[in-house]
Amino acid sequence: MDIKGKTILITGGGSGIGLESARQFLAEGANVIITGRNQAKLDEAKRLFSSLTVIKSDVENPEDAKVLFEKVVSLGGIDILYNNAGVGSPALNLGIANEQILKNAIYEMNINYFGVIRLNTLFIDMLKSRTESAIINTTSILSLVPALEEPTYSATKTALSFYTKTLRKNLEILGSNVKVFELLPPLVATEMTAQRNDKKMTPEQLVKALISGIKKDQFTIRVGDAKLLYFVSRFFPKLAFNLVNPKKIYASLKQ
């Protein structure tokens, strides 16, 4: 897929992976619109990259999504929708009675899963009208193997992975020209993972791999450790589970 000259909307674009994506897509000659719920971060992104278009919007909010769509229409529409926004909650042991488990799950599902479907549904006809267009959904290495420390987050990304695969097939059956990419990152160095001491990939490395995959029409883009875990999980599922969930985390879940 050719990126130059395309207009891309990136959700969660004010920091981390989203902001790095904006930087690299601009460098590729794309027109970039970013959205997020933190106006201060959006303002700083605009200061860093003056050619950005920034729109404050929360993917969890249905009314915000509608307003976002209307603003994008007024700007001439988009060719690529990049569903980057995502959230995670603190680790909780699912085997212990805790009302926060349900609250966390609802929060994560509303943004990581329903928020994606909400925007895809709003923008799908616009994307189908373009000569070449795409949807990019960010799932996770944890859609391959769940993490004990991130159980409901893992579930949201697994749901999104299945949705992404079926969306791609549905559009193919319809004869649509909308390409559907799935990005499976490993652990990435962002605000959300700041407290983690594990090996992390930089946002720059991740986005570089994403853009390379898009250019090659590689619809499933596994990056870093996600490549290895994919093969291990297929043939040695118990080993894959233990790699994601080393015994050192067991004690923390008992606290």
Residue 99 is assigned to a structural domain of this protein: yes
Residue 2 is assigned to a structural domain of this protein: no
Nearest partner of 178 among 116, 119, 117, 124, judged by Cα: 124
Whether the Cβ atoms of residue 193 and residue 142 lie closer than 8 Å to each other:
no
Residue 1 is assigned to a structural domain of this protein: no
- pLDDT per residue rounded down to tens, the chain (255 residues): 999 999 999 999 999 999 999 999 999 999 999 999 999 999 999 999 999 999 999 999 999 999 999 999 999 999 999 999 999 988 888 888 889 999 999 999 999 999 999 999 999 999 999 999 999 999 999 999 999 989 999 999 999 999 999 999 999 999 999 999 999 999 888 777 656 667 788 999 999 999 999 999 999 999 999 999 999 999 999 999 999 999 888 877 776
Whether the Cβ atoms of residue 161 and residue 182 lie closer than 8 Å to each other:
yes
Sign of CA dihedral 96, 158, 193, 230: positive
CA 18 to chain centre: 9
- Domain span at residue 131? 7-254
Q: How many domains does the chain have?
A: 1
d(CA 158, CA 179): 20
CATH of the domain at 151: 3.40.50.720
Residue 19 is assigned to a structural domain of this protein: yes
pTM of the model: 0.93
Residue 185 is assigned to a structural domain of this protein: yes
Residue 66 is assigned to a structural domain of this protein: yes
d(CA 79, CA 239): 41
∠ CA 132-133-138 to the nearest 5 degrees? 150
Which amino acid is residue 20, in one-letter code?
E
Residue 181 is assigned to a structural domain of this protein: yes
